[in-house]
Structure formats: C-alpha cells, structure tokens
Structure 1
Amino acid sequence: MKTGATLRAVMTALGGPVTGLITAPDGLDVELRAVVIAEPGDPVGPGDLVLVAGARGEVAVPVIEAAAGCGAAAVAVKGEPVEAMRQAGIAVLGIDPDARWDQVETLARAVIEGGGDGPGGHQDLFSLAQTVATLTGGAVTIEDTAHRVLAYSESDDEVDELRRQSILGRNCPEPYLAHLREWGVYQRLWAGEEVVDIAERPDLGVRRRLVIGVHAGNRPLGSIWVQEGRAPLTGHSAETLRGAGRLAALHLARLYGGTATARAGEDLAVGLLTGGFDSEGLARHLGIDPAAPTAVIAVDLRERPDRSWLELRRTQATEIISVHAAAYRRDAMVIPACGFIYILLPDPARATLPAWATDVVAALRRHLGTPVQAAVCGVAAHVSEVPRAKKEGGKILEIIASAPERLVATLAEVRSSIVLRDMLNVLRDSGLHDPSLDALEPELAHTLLAYLDAFGDVATAAEALHVHPNTVRHRLRRAGATTGIDLSDPEQRLVAMIQLRLGS
C-alpha cells in the first residue's frame, strides 16, 4: 500500500520553482516517501526526494549518483543540467536558482505527508491551491470547516504573519478567528457562493484577503483564502475563486470518502468522447442530462518535449482549465484524452463560447508559456453526438496549426478550409493532375499560386510575396511560356490552383 505521494503530485504542487524535468527514467508515478535537504556526503534513504543544496550543475553529479545508489526516488538540483545527470538512473528535477530550499522542502513535505490519501486527496488540493495562486497573483490556503489548513500554495516573502502562523501551525490562529466571527465572515461564507473581500488591517498585521466557502449542496466543507501581496490581485480573482470553490468541493468530497468512485468517474468520462459505451447511460451515471445540448471545446498545448514533461504540463493546463470551466458552468467536465484536453459545457451560452475559449487560451499561454490553441468544435444537440464534435475539433486544430498567432477557431470559421483539404486529399490519392504544370520551378509555382489566390490582382500578389509588381508580371510570363497555361481561361486557372495547392 502506498504511503507517500507521486513525483507528479509534488512537481505540480511546487509549480514555479520547477524549471524543468531533466530526466525521469521510471516516469512521474514513482513514489516519494520523504524529503531531505542534503549536502555532499549526507546520507539519504530509499524513496527520498533529495534536495541538493550544497552543489550545482556538474558539481552535483556525485551527489545525484550517490542518491541513486542509496535507492532515493528523485533528486532536485539547481544549475545547468549535464548529460551525466541523465545517466544516473534516477529522476532529476531542475529548480529555479532563486528558489529557497526551505520553501521547496516545506511544500514538498506537506504533499508527501498528505500522500496517503491517494489520487484526489491532499495532492489535488495542493495542485488546486497553486493554480489559484497562479491565476490570482496571491498566496492561497485551503481550510476545512475546523479551520485546519489542508493545502497551500508556494509563497514568497510577501506573506503576512497570519499566513506564516497558519501554515506552521496548520491552523488559523484563534485571535484572528475571533475577529472573523465578529465581522460575520463565516456567516456569509456558509450562506452561499459569495466571494468575501476582507480589507487589510495594518493594526493586526494582516493584508487584504478574498475568501469563498466550499459547499456540497447546503453542507459547508471548507474555504479558500487568497492573501494579497505587494501587487494587487488580478481583476478576475473573484471569478477564479468561484470556479476553484466548485472544484474544491469535489476534491474535499474525495478526501472525506469516495476517492475511488470519483476517479472511476473521471475515467468513464472519456467514454463520452469516444462513443464506445452507452452514451445515455454513461451521461446519467456522471450526472449529465443526455438530452441537454453540450458544447465541445478541444485544447492543444502545441508543445512536444519529452513525454514526462508533457504529462506534467498537461496536468497543470487541466487544472487551470478546470478552474475556468467550473466558474463558467458548475457541471462542466474537463477531460484529458487522445493528446488533447477536451471541455464539455452542458447548456452553454452559445454566443459567448468563442470569447470564453479565447480567455482560457490566453490564460494558458500567459501562465504556461506554451503556444496553446483551441477549437470550438460546436454544440452537440444530444450527448450521443459528442464524439462527432470531438472529431471536428481535431480537424480544426490541424487547420490552424500553421497560424500559431491564432488562439481560437470555430468550425464555421474554418469549414471551407477543412472541406478543401479533404477534397485535395481525394485528388492526391486519385493521381489526377496536369503534367504540364510539373515543369514549373518552385519560385514560379509559388508566384502563380499567389496570383491565383489574389484573383488575378498583381499588386496584391506582389505584396504577399514581398516583391515588386513587375517581378510578378515577369514570373507569370515565364510560367506561361513554360506550361502553356492561358490565365484568361477560368478552367485552366481552376486546374492550376488545385494542382499547385496539392503540390504545396
């Protein structure tokens, strides 16, 4: 029986300090049993996460090799990675040179000590806390109804004394609790989904906070707190907290019981996308009305590093998307599958879908630094039509892959491009073509296609090619002399355009 946390969970919870995964020979699901800060020569034990504090870069290699020889599970190191690290036979994490080892140890230890809850327990709460901190720009804690701190985000020196005491004592200090009760904060928290804004109190040494209650129906489960630092919280912090509160309710429900059932539900949700099961029965099992219209959105991170690092990035992206989706629709589902991340939104406000998807992609690009793109696949009238919409999403993402500056596309916007691509594929497979066009050298072919795409407007074609209009005219005369094409003949123009697109 596992008693620790996985490397994946610790990396997700650490967030910013992790600059990269240098190597993970056994994958991200290796179990961590303890965390130690080690100087060269210090003893380590089996299953340890070893934080190499006394050496960097190549100098750290002997420490890494020694940790591997003692059966440690993973090593975290600062400095430039070297090839010898990848050959040590142990997972190695890169850590930001400016990160403090004591903060890395504190957060990693909290996740590992809470790891006995398994998937969906404390590990998910730490991940959620870090995601909320990323999206709001604040320092986050998640508490239960007894004011015990269950999870918290990475933080810097901008935290106040209340946060320090709460994390060190794993409980909100009683004097501040008395003030919160006096101000009626908890009465408002337990009444619904209000985001309560608690003003800064310099006399108490307490900075401004936003807080929301976490509920399962009418039953309070806990609360999420965001402390403001020197910079103000982001403008969408309240909306982020509403989404996080809905997600936290699922995590806390798992923590208090039902983890296996919740995980199985997530696995079954993939069946809605593939259509390999009884869609209506599966939807009802997951609490979705099968007859309700459901919007399908596909997200591609557009990142292809090594597999383990991509898995971590997808986990982080899924958490960010989940917060946004839960704020948009309480019953939204976010499903990583088939290399993409899919969002299912029952009863959507159709007119707002592209704008909402654009906001989500912009947030992902901002916080992950990846050229994310999304496809608004359409709205399935019935849950049985979700797989069809999923397939359309893959086609949309293929079309816009060549335009990385584009964040989001809808099916209506690229439908013609999809149909044209499919038609060209049929023609390519048939072998039909005009052999006279085969004689065109690449420069002439490129110019002729630009001219045809510009409806015969030489000036527009020249602008697209970044050449003088006379250069375009000269090349067109050469193309005509080479192929015998008559550009005044509409059928010859059509054949040339199709064949040149096939060649491109």
Structure 2
Amino acid sequence: MPDDDAGAPVTISDLVTALGSSNVQLLNPQTTGHPVVTGTEFADSSAALSIDPGMLYYVVSAESLGFSVGGGLESMLRRAAAANASAVGLKAPLDALPTLAELGERTGVPILHFAQNIPWRYLDAMISRSLGERDWQGRPLGTGSGSLHDLVNALASHFGGAAAIEDLGRAVLAYSTHPGQLIDPLRTAGILGRHASQSPHNNARYRDVLRTEGALVFPGDGQQLPRAAIAVRSGTINLGSIWVIRSDHSPLTDAQHEALDTAAASAAGLMMESMRRATESSRARLEAVRKLLASEELSASDLDELQVRSAPLQLVAFQMLSTEVPPLIMDQIRALLGRAFQAMLGPTALVTVGHRFYALSQPRDAQGLERLAQLGLEQVSSAIGQQMRAAVGSEFPAIADFAAARTQIDEILDAQLPGDVVTAQAAQPTLLLRAVARTVNATSWIRGDQVQALLDHDAAHDTDYGPNVLAWLRAHGNYAQAARDLDVHENTVRYRLRRARSQFHLDLDDPARRLAAWVQLEASL
C-alpha cells in the first residue's frame, strides 16, 4: 500500500498484501469484498464486542471454541458480523481451514488465518504499522526508509554524541560512527560486545524509557555521560530503544524532541519490516524441511532457504512423552525449542510431525547438539511443564541423504532407550539389532528350529527359557551377571540353561550357532 498517504483507508486486501502471503491468508475472499479496517481488538468468547464498525478482531482462543459448523466459533463470527466487523483473525491447524472458509461464507465475515509461528503481539504490531497508526503526538508513523545505521548517524550529527539502537534484549542493532562524536567507555564496551551492559542502575533506566511516551533525559555519573533515550514502538508494542550521548543533561529542545520522535518512528518501521522478512524466511525454511520430511522434491529456492548446502548436516528430533498434548501447547513448545536453536545455531527450521519435532542443522562440535537438545528439554519442562526426550542423529554429507537420516532419528526415538537425550552413537548397537530383528521376523526360513521351539514352549507353558538364555548370552557366559540382570538366583540361571540345552538341543558352544541363537532371541524378545 502507498506510504505517502497516511489517511487512505486500509482494506483487508491491503493488509494481506502488506503482511505477505506466508504470514496471513484470507480464507474466504469470494464473499468479502473490500472491507475497510479501522482498528484492531483482542476478543474472546464471552466479552462484548466493540460497537465501532470496521474492527479486526483477534480470536486467540479460536481452537477452544471449536471449528465445526454450528459450534462456538460460528456463534462468535455471527456476533462479529452484527458488530460490523471488518474481519476476524485466528490461528488454526491446516486441516481445519476448509471448514473455517465455509464458516466465513455462512456468516459473511472475512476470516484471516495467521501463521502459527508468529506471536500475537508481533502480528498486532505489523498490522498496526499497516493501518498507519499515529505516534504519541498524533503524527503518522514513519515509513521506515533508509537504514538503522543512517538513523543513528543522523542523530549523532544532530546531537554531537554517539547514538545507538537496541532491541528489547539490549542487543546493539546499530551504532553511529559520526566523526568527532562524544562517546564514553560504557557505550564503547556496548559497541564492542554488541550488547548494552546489565546493571541495576541501567535496568531502572530501561524500564523508565519503555514505560514513557516520548524522550527522557538522564544525567551523567562517574561511568557515563548524560543521555537522551526514547522507546521504539509499533502501535502499543515495544520493539527497543534509542540512546544518544549528550554533553549535558539540560532539557531537550523542540528540535531535539522532534528528531528523536522521527527516528523512533522510522526505526519502528525498519524493525517491523526486518521482522516481517525474517518471518517469511522462517516460513520458507519450514516449508523446505516439511518437503524433506514428506520425501517431496526440493527446488533450487528450497535449497537456498535451507541455508545448508555445505556438509555435514545433522538431524535432531524431540518426542513428547504424552500423546494427549493440545495443539496450542505443541505450538508453544515448537516456538520455545525454535528460540533455543536460533540462539545457538542461527536460523533453524523446526517442523512438527505428529508428536515429534525435527530440526535440521549444521553441527559446530561433536557434543554441541547434544547439549542444545538437553537445554531444550529443560526449558520445555520448566516453562511449559511437559516432559520430552530427544535424539541426535549421525552427521550426513548432503541433503540427498536426508531420508536415511530421518529413518535413523525415528529409529532412535522408537527404540525408547534410557536417557533424556540419546545419540546415534549410543543407540547404534540397538539400531543394528532392531534392523536384524525385522529381517529375522520377516523371513521364516532363516530362523533356527531349536530356538523357535524354545520360544513356542515359553509361550505355551509360561516358562522363561528364552529370557534366561538371552541374559546369559548378553553377559557373555557370566552366570552371576545374568542372574543380577534377571533378578534371580545364580543357580536358577544355571538350571534353566541346562534344561534349554538338553530339552531343545541348543548348541551354544559353536560360535556361529551361538551368534545365530542370540540374534534370533534378540529379534523375538
């Protein structure tokens, strides 16, 4: 939509175009026309809706209302229609979209389906930008032209002191390099470390800035020069802050206030655009990994989005211990794991399949992914209260080997080995035996008659010859160890082994026959 006409009405179609098709989808375009959006509001199933026409309602609890025809969501859509809403925005599983489109047609309300991986507050911030909301003094928000570095250099030129833009985590996104600018050791350290210092004194200042409309002035002290600061916001959402060093802490002039207001509005536009591009890129990476998991052919653009053309590659997978986890909780877990991977490895696509999460990455060291997987489990347990286990696959040389890597990681999780995080190396003996077991069980003519007779006897007479022989084999003939593993007396193991040899004619002295019996028992028990 044009940026030079802040007063032009914004339609649903304009919003979809501005946010991008990977972030939002209009489910029922044939019934909507071009309704104008005048504002946004969060709504739930019981609250009264605004009487102002043209509102876009966010229905965060849509899934709890049910997506069926005639259900709670349809009732809410009819209330939105009666309130002359411009649209209803929600998140839903992909298999629910046809029903939602039908509900939109039945009620005449446009339904916007938002990407699951974008937090609601960021969606609201992006939509607020698109609606052309005004800043705290009533002026239109900035267009976001130029760059963050251009903004801080312009501020440094205006104030004569170093300027920096930080995100909410106090990471330095941009810093000025204006010749002759005032600068102190604290700002220099922040630039070198690309992160502002954490201290109780600074924490209080940041809180004040983010709670205040407009710019604040802070006096200098023994460690730092005076500063002016202003929050960077999109609508009501804090995105970060701008800090400018000054020679004194006198009140700001009108021109300085306006310079900071303009810079904050422009920075918000640039940060939201960066967020939108990052979200679209994340969606594209997710789609590429989804294609890999579904064994679909990848295009050249898919390979570009994966950002993993070079070898080696590695898969990490997480499995929910409970199969009764609501979709909303699954989304929260995926977001939490995604942030953990993002912090350690950079952009990483995390895809949900059933009750498993898969991440494709490039390892940095032998134990790096194992530690990261353990950290992810701990964060999910602490923040959400859900228990999981994880598997770390072997490195594989190229995307062409992904199918084998997926098979391996699933085998590790299916084996349900002890431990929170199981690596391919630790699971290798079990995976080998499982693979052999499938062949043995699928091919009757290679199974030994004596071992099969023993197993049939156990099944018919509730005896334990098979487990006893297997425990003895696993203990390499050590009766005491086999007895401990079976939690029986050592003489019991000796007796049962003698009976198995004599009654079923087992030859456990010949190495080849002993190995064959071992494999068959592993496959069967």
TM-score of the two chains, using structure 1 as the length reference: 0.53
Residue 59 (structure 1) aligns with: none
Alignment equivalent of 1:436, drawn from 433, 437, 453 = 453
The alpha-carbon deviation at position 430 of structure 1 amounts to 1.1
Alignment equivalent of 2:373, drawn from 354, 357, 360 = 357
Residue 123 (structure 1) aligns with: 120
Deviations 1:159-206, CA, capped at 9 Å, x for gaps: xxxxxxxxxxxx9xxxxxxxxxx9999998788741531416899997
Residue 305 (structure 1) aligns with: 324
Residue 474 (structure 2) aligns with: 453
Q: What is the CA–CA distance in structure 1 between the aligned matches of 2:421 and 2:13, rounded to whole Å? A: 42
Q: What is the CA–CA distance in structure 2 between the aligned matches of 1:436 and 1:251, rounded to whole Å? A: 72
Residue 486 (structure 2) aligns with: 465
Residue 266 (structure 1) aligns with: 286
CA contact (8 A) 2:321 2:388 kept: yes
The alpha-carbon deviation at position 304 of structure 1 amounts to 0.8
Amino acid at match of 1:276: E
Alignment equivalent of 1:423, drawn from 417, 425, 436 = 436
Moved more, 481-490 or 254-263: 254-263
CA contact (8 A) 2:434 2:523 kept: no
The alpha-carbon deviation at position 68 of structure 1 amounts to 4.6
Secondary structure of 1:459's match?
A: helix
Alignment equivalent of 2:303, drawn from 277, 283, 295 = 283
Secondary structure of 2:523's match?
A: helix
CA contact (8 A) 2:311 2:397 kept: yes
The alpha-carbon deviation at position 473 of structure 1 amounts to 2.0
Residue 427 (structure 2) aligns with: 414
Alignment equivalent of 1:71, drawn from 72, 75, 78 = 75
Q: Summarize the Cα distance change of 1:481–1:388 in structure 2 as closer, same or farther, 3 Å threshold.
A: closer
Amino acid at match of 2:315: V
CA contact (8 A) 2:465 2:496 kept: yes
Aligned length: 332
CA contact (8 A) 2:142 2:269 kept: no
Residue 340 (structure 1) aligns with: 356
Q: What is the CA–CA distance in structure 2 between the aligned matches of 1:249 and 1:376, rounded to whole Å? A: 40
Q: What is the CA–CA distance in structure 2 between the aligned matches of 1:487 and 1:289, rounded to whole Å? A: 50
The alpha-carbon deviation at position 485 of structure 1 amounts to 2.5
Residue 6 (structure 2) aligns with: none
Deviations 1:34-88, CA, capped at 9 Å, x for gaps: 54696xxx9899x99799xxxxxxxxxxxxxx99599248xxxxxxxxxxxxxxx
Q: Summarize the Cα distance change of 1:317–1:205 in structure 2 as closer, same or farther, 3 Å threshold.
A: closer
What's the C-alpha RMSD, in Å, of the aligned pairs? 5.0
Secondary structure of 1:223's match?
A: strand
Q: What is the CA–CA distance in structure 2 between the aligned matches of 1:397 and 1:305, rounded to whole Å? A: 18
CA contact (8 A) 2:341 2:372 kept: no
Q: What is the CA–CA distance in structure 2 between the aligned matches of 1:200 and 1:447, rounded to whole Å? A: 68
CA contact (8 A) 1:375 1:408 kept: yes
Q: What is the CA–CA distance in structure 2 between the aligned matches of 1:471 and 1:250, rounded to whole Å? A: 76
CA contact (8 A) 1:121 1:252 kept: no
The alpha-carbon deviation at position 320 of structure 1 amounts to 1.4
Q: What is the CA–CA distance in structure 1 between the aligned matches of 2:468 and 2:13, rounded to whole Å? A: 64
Residue 27 (structure 2) aligns with: none
The alpha-carbon deviation at position 2 of structure 1 amounts to 11
CA contact (8 A) 2:286 2:350 kept: no
Alignment equivalent of 1:496, drawn from 517, 520, 523 = 517
Q: What is the CA–CA distance in structure 2 between the aligned matches of 1:305 and 1:222, rounded to whole Å? A: 36
Amino acid at match of 1:386: F
Moved more, 406-415 or 346-355: 346-355
Q: What is the CA–CA distance in structure 1 between the aligned matches of 2:270 and 2:308, rounded to whole Å? A: 19
Secondary structure of 1:312's match?
A: helix
**Which entry has the higher C-alpha Rg, 1 or 2?**
2
Amino acid at match of 1:479: A
Deviations 1:315-361, CA, capped at 9 Å, x for gaps: 12211111111111223332224652122223633342322322223
Q: What is the CA–CA distance in structure 1 between the aligned matches of 2:297 and 2:453, rounded to whole Å? A: 52
Moved more, 317-326 or 481-490: 481-490
CA contact (8 A) 1:269 1:335 kept: yes
Residue 195 (structure 2) aligns with: 194
Q: Summarize the Cα distance change of 1:289–1:475 in structure 2 as closer, same or farther, 3 Å threshold.
A: closer
Is 1:223 aligned with 2:224? Answer: no
Q: What is the CA–CA distance in structure 1 between the aligned matches of 2:375 and 2:381, rounded to whole Å? A: 10
Q: What is the CA–CA distance in structure 1 between the aligned matches of 2:472 and 2:408, rounded to whole Å? A: 31
CA contact (8 A) 1:44 1:50 kept: no
The alpha-carbon deviation at position 407 of structure 1 amounts to 1.5
Amino acid at match of 2:120: Q
Secondary structure of 2:314's match?
A: strand
Q: What is the CA–CA distance in structure 2 between the aligned matches of 1:417 and 1:271, rounded to whole Å? A: 29
Deviations 1:440-470, CA, capped at 9 Å, x for gaps: 4442222221112111111111111111212
Amino acid at match of 1:123: W
The alpha-carbon deviation at position 305 of structure 1 amounts to 1.2
Identity of aligned residues (%): 19
TM-score of the two chains, using structure 2 as the length reference: 0.51
Residue 64 (structure 2) aligns with: none
Q: What is the CA–CA distance in structure 2 between the aligned matches of 1:122 and 1:452, rounded to whole Å? A: 55
Q: Summarize the Cα distance change of 1:270–1:445 in structure 2 as closer, same or farther, 3 Å threshold.
A: same
Q: What is the CA–CA distance in structure 2 between the aligned matches of 1:478 and 1:287, rounded to whole Å? A: 60
Q: What is the CA–CA distance in structure 1 between the aligned matches of 2:397 and 2:203, rounded to whole Å? A: 55
CA contact (8 A) 1:295 1:345 kept: yes
Structure 2 stretches lacking a partner, 5+ long: 1-11, 16-39, 51-56, 62-69, 78-110, 125-140, 144-167, 169-182, 211-230, 233-237, 242-267
Q: Summarize the Cα distance change of 1:472–1:253 in structure 2 as closer, same or farther, 3 Å threshold.
A: farther
Amino acid at match of 1:455: H
Structure 1 stretches lacking a partner, 5+ long: 5-31, 52-65, 74-114, 128-143, 147-170, 172-181, 216-220, 225-247
Equivalence map 1:135-284=2 (5 Å)? 193-194=194-195, 196-199=197-200, 222-223=239-240, 252-253=272-273, 263-278=283-298, 280-284=300-304
Secondary structure of 1:196's match?
A: coil
Secondary structure of 2:394's match?
A: strand
RCO greater where, 1 or 2, for CA within 8 Å and sep 6 or more?
1
Q: What is the CA–CA distance in structure 2 between the aligned matches of 1:386 and 1:488, rounded to whole Å? A: 43
